[in-house]
Amino acid sequence: MSQYSVILDTNGYPRAFGWQGEVLLGRLGPWNGLGFSGFPIEKENQIYSTGLVINDKEIYHEYELKSSVVQRVVLTLDGKTRFLHWIERIQDWIVYAEVAADTCDRFSICGSYGICSINKHPPCTCMQGFEPRNPEEWDASDWVSGCVRKTPLTCGSGDGFLKLTGVRVPDMRRSSGYISPEYAVHGRFSIKSDVFSFDVMMLEIISGKKNREFSNGDHRDNLLGHVS
């Protein structure tokens, strides 16, 4: 029996995790309305379609064949996800596609405030204004300790927000209660998304309760659903 598994985690907004036993190897997501963040958005094809179904009763990843092609998806004994096609002419399965993992698919390879780039060697660098927490470990290609600020954060002295593009959304399993639904499900971001997050934070301050950790014996809603 294989020690590898791939699961769809619904703790927050859906994302896919790859495990080896109890060791987290990598992740895809969260779902942004078009696909899993960090994975190329698939072009429409004549063989199959994919999607994510989210409603009040269930959440699941949908995979639907659109042609007479016989296809199956397997997780191999060495942890690889493969799409196989049955070829009638040779009476055998062939590998149609393989979900290939790159260096940056390894979970938390660069640590906190680190950036992993598949086009750089070594792949890990620190964000602007940060430096390695443990330079000796970084010199030895051990980056999991991450990065720290070069100077303390001082409001009003030029510190601010830095826009990063072309990067995967960080693991937000413990912060997803602040993400607006239109961004999580449909990938649409606007100033209203910031307003939603701020309102959730203010609600937590006023009530003294955490949105994700709130519970009530009469229903299963989070704090936001409870006061709505």
> Lowest-confidence range among 74-78, 163-167, 174-178?
174-178
Rounded CA separation 142/127 (Å): 17
Indicate whether 96 and 118 sit together in one domain.
no
Whether residue 68 is found in the same domain as residue 118: no
Statement to judge: residues 78 and 153 lie in one domain: no
**Parent domain of 159:** 111-169
Could you tell me if 138 and 50 lie in one domain?
Answer: no
CA distances from 125 to 105, 145, 162, 209 (A): 15, 12, 16, 37
Q: Is 129 helix (H, G, I), strand (E, B) or coil?
A: coil
Q: Is 162 helix (H, G, I), strand (E, B) or coil?
A: coil
Residue ending a domain, choose from 103, 138, 158? 103
Q: What is the pLDDT of residue 223?
A: 65
pLDDT band at 133 (very low <50, low <70, confident <90, very high): very high
Q: How many domains does the chain have?
A: 3
- Report which of residues 201 and 117 the model is more confident about: 117
Q: Facing residues of 15 across strands?
A: 9
Considering the domain architecture, whether residues 151 and 181 belong to the same structural domain is answered as no
* 103, 124, 151 - which closes a domain: 103
Residues 138 and 193 in one domain: no
Backbone angles phi, psi at 146, to 5 degrees: 75, -160
Tens of pLDDT, residues 93-118? 998 877 755 677 777 788 888 988 87
Task: Choose the final residue of a domain: 82, 103, 124.
Answer: 103
131-152 mean pLDDT: 90
- Shared-domain flag, residues 118 and 151: yes
Question: 197 and 121: one domain?
Answer: no
The DSSP secondary structure of 27-63, one letter per residue, reads EE--B-SSSBTTSPPPPP-SSEEEEEEE-SS-EEEEE
- Most confident range, picked from 31-40, 57-66, 197-206: 57-66
Give the pLDDT confidence score for residue 139 in this predicted structure: 87
Query: Are residue 99 and residue 151 in the same domain, yes or no?
Result: no
Reference 99, options 36, 45, 144; nearest CA is 36
Residue 210 has pLDDT above 70, yes or no: no
- CA pair distance 200, 204, nearest whole angstrom: 6
Residue 205 reports pLDDT greater than 60? yes
Do 139 and 220 fall into the same domain? no
pLDDT one-digit tens code per residue, 39-73 = 665 666 677 777 777 777 777 877 777 878 888 88
Tell me: do 95 and 129 sit in the same domain. Answer: no
59 and 83 assigned to the same domain? yes
